[in-house]
């Protein structure tokens, strides 16, 4: 779809650059680290909650802080891509786990990182994050923005959720905001038993934890998740809404099961590939800009 000039301008107005300073860190489980950010520019940050995403720019290993040659909405991307490889900050998409205002009137933002050593730039940076380090981000300047993908129809009576560890912070943020009595059946896949975090929620949530088998191939991992979903008996629902996020191949397989075997209306399934096994985020970003990324339109074909 091609945006009109006014639509493109409106979308750009929803987001802006922010400078975020590390205030503190807290280990949540075997694989999760929460980084709390502050900074004067966050006074204008407006998270829409649920699965609100933002783009972080993480400095290269030899630098303490993020430096970008441009933050102008028309030139930043070309300027960033044109930086030497060794100097270019790494861009990664993350979920706003929580935004809050302190008693002193400052804004704080929590982001949960998955730690797996130095095998990825984000894990390497988070594992070394200390107070005072500054990064930059493109985040929401208005709460009603297109980076909140959790958009259930008003008539929804039951929620179906799947998330792996990369999407678990978003899933927990969604559960935080669901009202009391909301019926939820969720399947959460994590790499370690100590990653089975206890989400705070008022919803009537039935959560199945799937602890991944070490060394399992993607087909084996996907089959285990789909088998767990297939074996469950979700609450009877007239108008279910499914939110699925995580590794792209597994997400597609769960969606195929819900639509093909459980007759869930594909228009009420929101699916997002947060990552793809064997592909870097740079590859996925290039595919998105080239128009080759898989559609997230709920009405798209399987």
Q: What is the pLDDT of residues 241-297, one digit of tens each?
A: 999 999 999 999 999 999 999 999 999 999 999 987 755 555 655 555 555 555 555
> In this structure, what token pair is assigned to residue 264?
């869930």
pLDDT for the residue 7 = 38
Residue 10 has pLDDT above 90, yes or no: no
Separation CA 207–CA 187 (nearest Å): 6
Query: Where residue 301 falls among pLDDT bands split at 50, 70, 90?
Result: very low
Compute the C-alpha angle 154/268/176, nearest 5°: 60
In percent, the amount of the chain with pLDDT more than 70 equals: 87
pLDDT for the residue 55 = 96
Residue 2 has pLDDT above 90, yes or no: no
Contact 168, 246 (CB under 8 A): no
Burial 267-294 (b: 16+ CB within 10 A, else e): ebbbbbbbbbeeeebeebbeeeeeeeeb
Compute the C-alpha angle 243/281/111, nearest 5°: 60
**44-77 per-position pLDDT tens digit:** 999 999 999 999 999 999 999 999 999 999 999 9
Q: What is the mean pLDDT of residues 207-215?
A: 92
Q: Say if residue 235 is exposed, middle or buried (CB neighbours under 10 Å; 0-12, 13-18, 19+).
A: middle
Q: Where is 283: in which H helix or E strand?
A: helix 281-289
In percent, the amount of the chain with pLDDT more than 90 equals: 79
Residue 144: CA count within 13 A, CB half-sphere: 1
Q: What is the mean pLDDT of residues 210-229?
A: 91
pLDDT for the residue 1 = 33
pLDDT for the residue 299 = 47
How many other C-beta atoms are found inside a 10 Å radius of the C-beta of residue 23? 16
pLDDT for the residue 181 = 93
The full 3-state SS of 188-206, as one line of letters, equals: EEECCHHHCCCCCCCCEEE
> In this structure, what token pair is assigned to residue 105?
């009137």
Q: What is the mean pLDDT of residues 116-123?
A: 90
Residue 12 has pLDDT above 80, yes or no: no
Residue 264: CA count within 13 A, CB half-sphere: 28
How many other C-beta atoms are found inside a 10 Å radius of the C-beta of residue 114? 21
Q: What are the start and end residues of each CATH 3.40.50.80 domain in the chain? A: 158-289
> In this structure, what token pair is assigned to residue 158?
């039951």
For the CA atoms of 295, 279, 37, 85, the dihedral, rounded to the nearest 10 degrees, stands at -120
Separation CA 250–CA 252 (nearest Å): 5
Q: What are the start and end residues of each CATH 2.40.30.10 domain in the chain? A: 5-140
**75-111 per-position pLDDT tens digit:** 999 999 999 999 999 999 999 999 999 999 999 999 9
Q: Say if residue 99 is exposed, middle or buried (CB neighbours under 10 Å; 0-12, 13-18, 19+).
A: buried
CATH code given to domain 158-289? 3.40.50.80
The pairing of beta strand 98-101 with beta strand 269-275: unpaired
Q: Say if residue 249 is exposed, middle or buried (CB neighbours under 10 Å; 0-12, 13-18, 19+).
A: middle
Residue 3 has pLDDT above 60, yes or no: no
Q: Give Cα 298 distance to the centre of its chain.
A: 17
**142-157 per-position pLDDT tens digit:** 999 999 999 999 999 9
Separation CA 143–CA 196 (nearest Å): 30
pLDDT for the residue 9 = 45
**194-206 per-position pLDDT tens digit:** 999 989 999 999 9
Cα maximum dimension of the chain: 55
CATH code given to domain 5-140? 2.40.30.10
For the CA atoms of 140, 144, 147, 149, the dihedral, rounded to the nearest 10 degrees, stands at 150
Place of tokens 């191939």: 217
């Amino acid at each position: 779809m091609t945006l009109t000039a006014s639509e493109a301008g409106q979308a750009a107005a929803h987001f802006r650059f922010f400078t975020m300073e590390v205030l503190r860190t807290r280990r949540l489980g075997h694989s999760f680290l929460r980084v709390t950010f502050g900074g004067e520019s966050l006074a204008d940050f407006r998270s829409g909650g649920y699965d609100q995403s933002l783009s972080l720019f993480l400095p290269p290993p030899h630098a303490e802080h993020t430096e970008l040659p441009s933050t102008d909405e028309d030139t930043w991307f070309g300027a960033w891509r044109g930086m030497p490889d060794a100097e270019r900050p790494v861009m990664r998409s993350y979920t706003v786990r929580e935004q809050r205002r302190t008693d002193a009137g400052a804004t704080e933002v929590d982001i949960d990182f998955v730690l797996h050593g130095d095998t990825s730039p984000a894990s390497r940076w988070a594992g070394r994050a200390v107070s005072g380090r500054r990064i930059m981000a493109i985040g929401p300047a208005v709460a009603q923005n297109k980076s909140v993908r959790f958009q259930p129809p008003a008539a929804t009576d039951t929620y179906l959720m799947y998330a792996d560890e990369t999407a678990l912070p978003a899933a927990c943020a969604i559960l935080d905001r669901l009202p009391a009595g909301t019926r939820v059946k969720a399947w959460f896949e994590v790499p370690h038993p100590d990653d089975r975090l206890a989400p705070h929620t008022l919803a009537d949530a039935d959560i199945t934890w799937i602890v991944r088998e070490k060394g399992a191939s993607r087909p084996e991992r996907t089959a285990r998740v789909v088998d767990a979903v297939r074996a469950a008996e979700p609450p009877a629902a007239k108008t279910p809404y499914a939110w699925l996020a995580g590794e792209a191949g597994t997400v597609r397989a769960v969606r195929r099961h819900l639509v093909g075997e459980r007759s869930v209306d594909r228009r009420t399934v929101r699916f997002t590939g947060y990552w793809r096994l064997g592909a870097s985020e740079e590859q996925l970003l290039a595919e998105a800009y080239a128009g080759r990324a898989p559609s997230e339109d709920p009405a798209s074909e399987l």
